[in-house]
Amino acid sequence: MWRKLCMAVCLVGAVWGGVEASPVDPQVVFIAHDVTPDRARARAQPYRAYVDVSMQSAPDSASQLRIRPLWVGGRGSSTRGSLALDHRDEGDRAAIDILERGFTLTLPGNDEGAVLHPADLAGWQAASGPSDARFLALLRLQALGLRPVTLPAAPQLGQRLTHLERGGDFASLATRMRVRALTPEIVLLDLEFEGDGLSGHGRQAVRRQDGRPLETRLYLTSRDGQATPETHRLYLVDMATEPVLDLEHALSPPEDVFNVTAERLAAPPFSARSDDPALFATDPIEAGTLEAWMLLDDGSALDMALAFDVLSHHDGGRPHIVLRADGRPAARAPHVVFMHLRDVQLLDVEGQPLPDATPTVTQRSFRVHAGMRLDETRVSFPFRLPLTVSESTLQPLSRIRLTADTRVYRWDRAEPVPYCGQSTHSADTVIEWTSPYRATLRQAAPAAGDPQGRWTTAVPIDAAGREIAFSQLFVGRASDAASDWRTLDAMPLLQLDPERAVDRTEIATHAPMAGLRLRHYRWRTDRRTLTFDDIRMQPGERDRDAAAD
């Protein structure tokens, strides 16, 4: 049971792990922002959004960052998200227009501070109220994790950088940075902020070639005059990096799931040898058989009924889309299929794209499973529609077509490796031998975009080559136990940190092992088309529609 649970939690990282650091402009960035007032029993107020970020030239040697919201999540009954905006309401239409035009962050070429303002300043001033001013104040804090960093031509490990700003959104702000890690494409920084009414720290990964942020964690304290001091926890990530963290819980992992890994590693048989036979079992998978989560490379279809629904919004806003999957997958297919989304099309009954409704893919890692019900109001929904899409725009919607890659697997070979030995078949696999009762199998995460590769599992064996009882724990890059953000040293590492570029399989045995039998599998990406039909259509109509496709 433990093996299946941990594999289910972590395998998104194993399947689609990797880093894409090449320039993508505009960037699609996910923002998670929790705000906690500094008073007794205060609860965090969550803000979630996807934004489109692009660089623009500006006069006087300045540059501009254009930030355009793609989706803003609602926060309970008190605050409305972007889907709750009603195109029939004049005030909401004005808000949609302002959000669609976006916001501009001016970055002066000297030590003057950055300034964020709505692109449609006149429209903002005419339509904004207290809640809009609050939105803009939070966006100014979020922009600290969006603006590019000026890097030296050849950054060095441990190098310290300082950026001073006078004026701008924060009056005066000193940002002190230390280079904590380097890769050929990425510079990882530790950050410290100190300014008028603002202080804090964080971690950030930026591209070497242009300093554009790829992933950021910030812990900030704001003190704005008469307002109550607030604590801000922020997580921002460029979705082109294909984050493996569950974005629904980017700031507050559910302890009952994510702490399982830490708790098990801190207890026998992983922390110390154990003689309790209940902790160990043999692996029933025979050589030549795929793991339960692997999709066989035989061209078979998923054989699941895929459908979508369009539901009315409880607050009078635009109806939202729900993707559904029902029925059991094909007999040899896993219960969960991991997809990498490439393209989305919203089609009418004639198979033509809906006008003015071109989707933006936001969440490329996409899981399809029986019983799936994925609502457009959720962070994990895979695409976003323009804010200008109205109920009438969606009325002709007949079919949603997703083009995606999935990894399909085939058996490669078994390889016995003696105690203290290493694999001679896979250079990406390293075994750490701790004792005759403990071993760790490490595998480098594949680079994003790789069309093929190898995956390895392991079982311990005795001197006669027989498999022996063991306990196993998969620790992927998505594993993220609860951390203390209040100090820089205790903050969780970024997913792009080189220390998290490896997936681990921890192995503990009851009897001493003479070695490991490695099970090597080969995988390749396979392009699939998933068609979601309108759930309200009658079977006869759906059949005629499919025949015309």
Residue 49 CA to residue 99 CA, distance in Å, equals: 12
Range(s) within the chain of domains with CATH label 2.60.40: 305-407+526-547
Q: Are 430 and 439 in contact (CB under 8 A)?
A: no
Range(s) within the chain of domains with CATH label 2.30.230: 22-241
Q: Are 191 and 214 in contact (CB under 8 A)?
A: no
**391 phi/psi in degrees, rounded to 5:** -60, -40
Residue 519 CA to residue 426 CA, distance in Å, equals: 11
SS (H, E, C) 482-498: CCCCCCCCCCCCCCCCH
pLDDT score recorded for residue 549: 42
Strand partners, 178: 160, 190
Residues 6+ apart with CB under 8 A from 126: 94
Architecture of the domain whose range is 22-241? Roll (2.30)
346: which DSSP letter? E
State whether residue 169 is helix, strand or coil: helix
Q: How many other CB atoms are there within 10 angstroms of residue 490's CB atom?
A: 9
- The tens place of each residue's pLDDT in the chain, 549 residues long, gives 334 434 434 454 455 555 555 556 789 999 999 999 887 778 888 999 999 999 987 666 678 999 999 999 976 444 578 998 888 888 889 999 999 999 999 988 777 889 999 999 888 888 777 778 889 999 999 999 999 999 999 999 999 999 998 888 888 899 999 999 999 999 999 999 999 889 999 999 999 999 999 999 999 999 876 577 899 999 999 999 888 777 877 776 654 445 677 788 899 999 999 999 999 998 778 888 898 888 899 888 777 889 999 998 766 688 999 999 987 555 556 778 889 999 999 999 999 999 999 999 999 988 888 889 999 999 999 999 999 999 999 999 999 999 999 999 999 999 999 999 999 999 889 999 999 999 999 998 777 678 999 999 999 999 999 999 999 998 876 655 557 889 999 888 898 998 887 889 999 999 999 999 999 999 999 999 999 999 876 454 444 444 444
Residue 329 CA to residue 296 CA, distance in Å, equals: 12
Tell which CATH classification among 1.20.120, 2.60.120, 2.60.40, 2.80.10 matches the domain 305-407+526-547: 2.60.40
